[in-house]
Amino acid sequence: MIFDLIVVGGGPAGISCANEAKRLGLNVVLIEKNQLGGSVRYARKIENFPPFPSISGKALFKHFQKFVEKSNIFVIFEDVEEISIFGNLLQTRNKSGNNIKGKSVFIATGQVDIIPEEYSSFGDLIRKSEDILSENLANKKVVVYGGGDVAFDLALSMLDAKAKTMIVCRSEIKAKPLLLQEATERKIKILKKSTIKEIKKIKGKKVVVINESFKVKEIVCDEIFFATGKKPLFPILNLPIQIENFDHSTLQNLSKMGVFLGGDLIRGKNRNIAVAIGDGVKAAFDAKNFLKGRKNGLL
């Protein structure tokens, strides 16, 4: 089967695109490699999404899943490894070998945590933000390394889970004032301008060696989570256009081929659910117009 639109990524952007495309009469498939709802499920609470004054990430995650079910969107659970041109079509190469062809594609694969190169040798001693859902942290001592929104959100989530939490910031605190205020009020210990020099395991515990204001100290803990930034998560794009950034010119050139990008994938640090949903809806309209132009011989 050849689809009018292939949507890669089942987060807020991908779900909204697939839903709107279906409403526009397009034959659409949504491909997701894990669970529908995207990274929403990792958020402790969301307070900047207008329909809900305040809602937990897990609750909103379930809303998105129910929405997909009620909308009867065709979903395939696959890991897309590559997107390429196949004649006058676009094709996804999936890990299972079940390749899918379509006339246009919307890529909304989000972002992934970055572990700085100098810490890569510590391997399994380090946890990422996505690991919080699989860890039982009650009564454990946990260190969070980072100073942004993700780090503070993680630390507060761990406190909710009855963990003893500490935040180690490499530089200045970059988290939103409300997150900092809550962390301070809940008496989370915050070490500023402190760099992790080493992580080791001794007698079942993790020992974090840090340099705090030119003084070396050791922190014994059960787990250490890194929240040291994110980067776009891309399948391989075997296309004539090289993507070096997400400026207007690049996105416009891709759209002429029927390739559309949106959601957290292109938003850098400006990750926002409402923006992602808007990106998805816009991509559905853009795909509809692209297909109309191709049918009329304009493309």
Domain ranges of the chain: 2-113+230-295, 117-226
Tokens of 99: 């390749």
Report the alpha-carbon distance of residue 246 to residue 261 in Å, rounded: 9
Report the alpha-carbon distance of residue 18 to residue 135 in Å, rounded: 32
Contacts of 45 (CB under 8 A, 6+ apart): 54, 55, 56, 57
User: Which pLDDT score is estimated for 90?
Assistant: 95
Beta-carbon count within 10 A of 279 CB: 25
Name the residue among 93, 85, 101 with its Cα closest to residue 257.
85
DSSP 8-state code for residue 240 = S
State which residues of the chain have pLDDT below 50: none
User: Which pLDDT score is estimated for 298?
Assistant: 58
Give the CATH number of domain 117-226; options: 1.20.1250.20, 3.10.20.310, 3.50.50.60, 3.20.20.70. 3.50.50.60
User: Which pLDDT score is estimated for 299?
Assistant: 54
* Architecture (CATH level 2) of domain 2-113+230-295: 3-Layer(bba) Sandwich (3.50)
Contacts of 211 (CB under 8 A, 6+ apart): 194, 195, 197
Predicted TM-score (pTM) of the model is 0.92
Beta-carbon count within 10 A of 217 CB: 12
The two domains 2-113+230-295 and 117-226 share their CATH topology (first three levels equal): yes
Beta-carbon count within 10 A of 200 CB: 12
